[in-house]
Copies of this chain bind each other. A is one copy, B any other.
Amino acid sequence: MKELPLTEPVFLILLSLAGQPRHGYSILKDVDDMSRGRVKLSTGTLYGALRRLLAGRWIERFKEDDRPRGRQAYRLTALGRRNMQLEVSRLKRLALVANLRVARKES
């Protein structure tokens, strides 16, 4: 797994999983919602990112009993959650700095 900072799509995928375990298609819709329809993940992006996140142990497959065929959920690992917390702190700080810089001078 590459080092921080995360790219936008990956960040949103992880953020989606931060609330609850989800399967792929559910992530797709959740990201759409969260970003108010601004970010539409393609399946290529999604499954590519999930593969890398699994490999880096940020997420893991989450087995449920009565899950219909071909359907599988993912959830954050402890590592993934920790990293996301760091990433969110970083983001909040960046938002503050950005706000200061851009707010100044003519709006």
Chain A positions near chain B (C-beta within 8 angstroms): 4-5, 7-8, 11, 15, 18-19, 34-35, 38-39, 81, 84-85, 88, 90-92, 94-95, 97-99, 101-102, 104-107
Contact = CB atoms under 8 A, between A and B. Distances in A.
Binding site secondary structure of chain A: helix
B99 A88 contact: yes
Number of copies of this kind of chain in the complex: 2
Contact of A102 (B81, B97, B102): B81
A88 to B, nearest CB: 5
A90 B95 CA distance: 9
Contacts of A92: 95, 98-99
A15 B95 contact: no
